[in-house]
Chains A and B, each alone.
Chain A
Amino acid sequence: MKALLLLGDEAIAQAALDAGLSGVYAYPGTPSTEITEYIQHSPYSKQENIQCRWATNEKTAMEAAMGMSFAGKRSLVCMKHVGVNVAADPLMNSSISGIVGGLVFVAADDPSMHSSQNEQDSRFYGNFAMIPILEPSNQQEAYDMVYAGFELSERIGYPVMLRITTRLAHSRAGVVRKAQLPQNELHFSEDPKQFVLLPVNARQRYKQLLAAQNDMQASSMNSDFNPYYDAADKSKGIIACGIAYNYLMENFPQGCPWPVLKIGQYPLPEARIRQMLKECKELIVIEEGAPVVENAIKGLCYEEGKIQGRCSGLLPRDGELNPDIVAEAFGLDHQSAYARPQVVMPRPPALCQGCGHRDMYEALTEVVRSLGDEARVFGDIGCYTLGYLPPFRVLNSALDMGASITMAKGAADAGLKYPVAVIGDSTFTHSGMTSLLDAVNANAPITVIISDNETTGMTGGQDSAGTGKIEAICLGLGVDPAHLKVLVPLKKNHEEMVNIIRQEINYPGLSVIIPRRECIQTAARRKKMQAKENQA
Chain B
Amino acid sequence: MKIDIILSGVGGQGILSIATIIGEAVLSEGLQMKQSEVHGMSQRGGDVQSNLRISDKAIYSDLIPQGQCDLILSLEPMEALRYLPYLKKDGWLVTSSVPFVNIPSYPEAEALQAALDAVPNKVVLDVEAIAKDCGSARSANMVLLGAATPFLHLSYESIEEGIRAIFARKGQDIVDKNIAALRAGKAVAEQR
Contact of B40 among A245, A327, A459 (CB under 8 A): A459
Q: In the complex, are the beta carbons of A167 and B63 less than 8 A apart?
A: yes
The answer to the question of B1 belonging to the interface, with a C-beta cut-off of 8 Å to chain A, is no
Q: In the complex, are the beta carbons of B105 and A345 less than 8 A apart?
A: yes
Q: In the complex, are the beta carbons of B115 and A341 less than 8 A apart?
A: yes
Q: Which residue of B is nearest A382, CB measured? A: B41
Which of B32, B81, B118, B119 has the most chain A CB within a 10 Å cutoff?
A: B81
Q: How large is the interface on A (under 10, 10 to 19, 20 to 34, 35 or more residues)?
A: 35 or more
The answer to the question of B36 belonging to the interface, with a C-beta cut-off of 8 Å to chain A, is yes
A335 to B45: give the CA distance in the assembly, Å.
31
Contact of A460 among B39, B62, B66 (CB under 8 A): B39
Q: In the complex, are the beta carbons of A336 and B37 less than 8 A apart?
A: no
- Complex A-B, nearest 3 residue pairs according to Cβ-Cβ distance, in ascending order: A30-B40, A115-B40, A349-B46
Chain B residues in 8 Å Cβ range of A351: 44-45
Q: Which residue of B is nearest A385, CB measured? A: B41
Q: In the complex, are the beta carbons of B41 and A323 less than 8 A apart?
A: no
Total A-B contacts with CB atoms under 8 angstroms apart: 160
The answer to the question of A198 belonging to the interface, with a C-beta cut-off of 8 Å to chain B, is no
Q: In the complex, are the beta carbons of B119 and A323 less than 8 A apart?
A: no
Stretch in A62-70, A152-160, A170-178, A181-189 touching the partner: A170-178
The interface size of chain B toward A, counting residues with CB under 8 Å, comes to 53
Q: Which residue of A is nearest B78, CB measured? A: A344
Q: Which residue of B is nearest A169, CB measured? A: B39
The answer to the question of A527 belonging to the interface, with a C-beta cut-off of 8 Å to chain B, is no
Q: How far is the CB of A428 from chain B (nearest CB, A)?
A: 19
Q: In the complex, are the beta carbons of B39 and A34 less than 8 A apart?
A: yes
A430 to B44: give the CA distance in the assembly, Å.
23
8 Å CB contacts to A: which residues of B38-89? 38-47, 51, 59-67, 78-79, 81-82, 84-89
A8 to B77: give the CA distance in the assembly, Å.
30
The answer to the question of A386 belonging to the interface, with a C-beta cut-off of 8 Å to chain B, is yes
Q: Which residue of A is nearest B91, CB measured? A: A337
Q: In the complex, are the beta carbons of A337 and B32 less than 8 A apart?
A: no
Chain A residues in 8 Å Cβ range of B106: 345
Q: Which residue of A is nearest B84, CB measured? A: A338
Chain B residues in 8 Å Cβ range of A345: 78, 103, 105-107
A249 to B62: give the CA distance in the assembly, Å.
12
Q: Which residue of A is nearest B46, CB measured? A: A349
8 Å CB contacts to B: which residues of A453-493? 458-460
Chain A 102-127 against B: per-residue CB contact (8 Å), 1 yes, 0 no?
00000000000011000000000000
Main SS class of interface, B: mixed
Q: How far is the CB of B15 from chain A (nearest CB, A)?
A: 13
A342 to B114: give the CA distance in the assembly, Å.
11
Q: Which residue of A is nearest B57, CB measured? A: A253
Contact surface of A with B, Cβ cutoff 8 Å: 3, 5, 7, 30-31, 33-34, 114-115, 167-168, 170-174, 243, 245-250, 253, 322-324, 327, 334-352, 383, 385-386, 390, 458-460
Q: How far is the CB of B29 from chain A (nearest CB, A)?
A: 13
Q: How far is the CB of A42 from chain B (nearest CB, A)?
A: 18
Further pairs besides A171-B62, A172-B34, A337-B89: 7, Cβ < 8 Å = A30-B40, A114-B42, A250-B65, A323-B63, A338-B119, A341-B118, A385-B41
A173 to B53: give the CA distance in the assembly, Å.
10
Q: Which residue of B is nearest A458, CB measured? A: B41
Which of B10, B40, B44 has the most chain A CB within a 10 Å cutoff?
A: B40
Q: In the complex, are the beta carbons of B82 and A344 less than 8 A apart?
A: yes
Q: In the complex, are the beta carbons of B27 and A174 less than 8 A apart?
A: yes
Which of A246, A337, A340, A348 has the most chain B CB within a 10 Å cutoff?
A: A337
Chain B 113-145 against A: per-residue CB contact (8 Å), 1 yes, 0 no?
011001100000000000000000000000000
Chain B residues in 8 Å Cβ range of A247: 60-61, 63
Q: Which residue of B is nearest A173, CB measured? A: B34
The answer to the question of B14 belonging to the interface, with a C-beta cut-off of 8 Å to chain A, is no
Known A247-B60, A323-B61, A335-B66: A458·B40 in contact at CB below 8 Å: yes
11 contacts between A and B (CB under 8 A): A114-B42, A173-B33, A173-B34, A173-B35, A323-B64, A345-B106, A345-B107, A347-B79, A350-B46, A352-B44, A390-B104
Contact surface of B with A, Cβ cutoff 8 Å: 10-11, 23, 27, 32-47, 51, 59-67, 78-79, 81-82, 84-89, 91, 102-107, 111-112, 114-115, 118-119
A346 to B106: give the CA distance in the assembly, Å.
9
A500 to B120: give the CA distance in the assembly, Å.
59
Known A168-B62, A335-B66, A338-B84: A343·B102 in contact at CB below 8 Å: no
Chain B residues in 8 Å Cβ range of A335: 66-67
Q: How far is the CB of A88 from chain B (nearest CB, A)?
A: 23
Q: In the complex, are the beta carbons of B40 and A340 less than 8 A apart?
A: no
Q: How far is the CB of B77 from chain A (nearest CB, A)?
A: 10
Q: How far is the CB of A388 from chain B (nearest CB, A)?
A: 12
A226 to B89: give the CA distance in the assembly, Å.
38
Q: In the complex, are the beta carbons of A170 and B105 less than 8 A apart?
A: no
Chain A residues in 8 Å Cβ range of B78: 343-345, 347
A349 to B12: give the CA distance in the assembly, Å.
11
Known A171-B34, A345-B105: A336·B85 in contact at CB below 8 Å: yes
Known A115-B40, A338-B85: A171·B66 in contact at CB below 8 Å: no
Q: Which residue of B is nearest A243, CB measured? A: B62
A98 to B104: give the CA distance in the assembly, Å.
56
Chain B residues in 8 Å Cβ range of A327: 65
Known A334-B66, A349-B44: A5·B27 in contact at CB below 8 Å: yes
Known A34-B39, A114-B38, A167-B63: A349·B87 in contact at CB below 8 Å: no
Contact of B44 among A31, A167, A322, A386 (CB under 8 A): A386
Which of A115, A171, A248, A342 has the most chain B CB within a 10 Å cutoff?
A: A171
Chain B residues in 8 Å Cβ range of A114: 38, 40-42
Q: In the complex, are the beta carbons of B60 and A343 less than 8 A apart?
A: no
A337 to B67: give the CA distance in the assembly, Å.
6
Q: In the complex, are the beta carbons of B41 and A115 less than 8 A apart?
A: yes
Q: In the complex, are the beta carbons of A344 and B40 less than 8 A apart?
A: no
A253 to B65: give the CA distance in the assembly, Å.
13
